[in-house]
Amino acid sequence: MKKLLFLILLIITFYGCEKKFDSPLESDQAVYQIAQVSVFDSFTRTLTDSIINPSIKFTSTSDIRKVWIEIISPDNETLSPGQISLYDNGSPNTGDAVKGDKIYSNLVVMKREYINGMYSINYFVEDKAGTTKKVASQSFHFDRGEINISPIIVSVSLPDTIEVKNVPLSFIITATVADSNGINDINEVYFITYKPDQSSNGAKTSLYDDGNSSADGDVTAGDGIFSRAIIISPENQKGKYRFDFQAKDRGGLVSQVVQKYIVVK
């Protein structure tokens, strides 16, 4: 059970930079107000501890129909199943200690495949009139508890030679990447281009694993194959281009550099 931080509130407001409380409720309208909310700055997953226990206490529950949370990942994605109900039922299955004590709780498994980083928990209340309000939010850093290992570029696929005549020519470049910490640990895959005269602006060209074939040429999302659609025009300098491929994970570790070449005629 996580420690409860006592908050004295006349209007639902939280002071501080790390535990932010947002509430549109006004003091002359609110039938319920927050008395306590669970607080944890960080959570490290282990083989024996993978569960967080978010909870919130109200001064009154007579007007409350439902309480739930949504957890937002560092990628600004809502974790499945979306709405996670909180209960005041005294059940060990929900992590609620005492039934009817106005503390709503639940147990949430932080899975191994979740990425490292800052997560947000947003608290919501639906009253008996059917009005829904976001009443609080907090942030915490999640650590999967694993040794971080650099990603690896397994292979790169691109044409050896391209002949450009009167119209631009498009083609797909792909890089297959692996990471011992899981494919979700890969933060970016990119290449840097060097012209035949060996000059380069040093800009990264990103490859994507999002399944958006119409935009970037990637066929299947999440399969570890990162893709990018490239267009070569007749105006491009002719000769041998060098492409330096690299991958970077969320912990900042980078892969080996893989160099490939395309001859443009």
Residues 197 and 258 both lie in one domain:
yes
193: domain range?
152-264
Q: What is the CATH number of the domain that holds 208?
A: 2.60.40.10
Which stretches does DSSP call E strand in 102-257? Answer: 103-105, 108-109, 117-127, 132-143, 152-157, 161-162, 169-178, 186-194, 204-207, 225-232, 239-249
Q: What pLDDT, on the 0 to 100 scale, is given for residue 105?
A: 96
pLDDT at 30: 58
Tokens coding 260: 């490939």
> Considering 110, 143, 176, which residue would you say is the last residue of a domain?
143
Beta-bridged to residue 244, according to DSSP, are 192, 259
Name the domain boundary from 99, 123, 143: 143
* 140 contacts 74 by C-beta, under 8 angstroms: no
pLDDT of amino acid 251: 86
The total of structural domains in the chain comes to: 2
**pTM greater than the 0.85 cutoff:** no
Q: Are 52 and 133 contained in the same domain?
A: yes
Q: Indicate if 86 and 170 belong to the same structural domain.
A: no
User: Which has the closest alpha carbon to 238: 205, 197, 207?
Assistant: 197
β-sheet bridge partners, residue 238: none
| Same domain assignment for residues 132 and 234 | no
Q: Which residues of 31-49 are buried (b: 16+ CB within 10 A; e: fewer)?
A: ebbbbbbbbbeebebeeee
Per-residue pLDDT of the chain (265 residues; tens, 9 = 90+): 443 333 333 233 333 333 444 444 433 455 788 888 998 899 999 989 999 999 999 998 889 999 999 999 998 999 989 999 999 999 999 999 999 999 999 999 999 889 889 999 999 999 998 999 999 999 999 998 888 899 999 999 999 999 988 888 999 999 999 999 888 889 999 999 999 999 999 999 999 999 998 888 899 999 999 999 999 999 899 999 999 999 999 889 999 999 999 999 8
Closest by Cα among 119, 136, 12 to 69: 136
Question: Which H or E element spans position 68?
Answer: strand 64-72
DSSP-derived letter for residue 185 is G
Same domain, 29 and 124: yes
Cα separations in angstroms, 45 against 94, 111, 159, 183: 19, 8, 44, 18
- Give the separation between CA 264 and CA 27, rounded to whole angstroms: 70
C-alpha triplet 154, 185, 224: angle, nearest 5°: 40
Q: Tokens representing 218?
A: 């990637």
Kindly report the CATH number assigned to the domain that includes residue 95.
2.60.40.2550
d(CA 15, CA 11): 12
Q: Are residues 159 and 204 in the same domain?
A: yes
- Residue 184 and residue 57 in one domain: no
SS3 category, 260: strand
Tokens of 170: 């498009």
User: Strand, helix or coil at 180?
Assistant: coil
Q: How far apart are CA 123 and CA 144, in angstroms?
A: 24
Point out the domain boundary residue: 120, 143, 166.
Answer: 143
Claim to verify: residue 118 and residue 161 sit in the same structural domain: no
Same domain, 170 and 208: yes
User: Are 24 and 121 in the same domain?
Assistant: yes
163 and 255 inside one domain: yes
CB of 149 closer than 8 Å to CB of 78: no
Do 236 and 212 lie in one domain? The reply is: yes
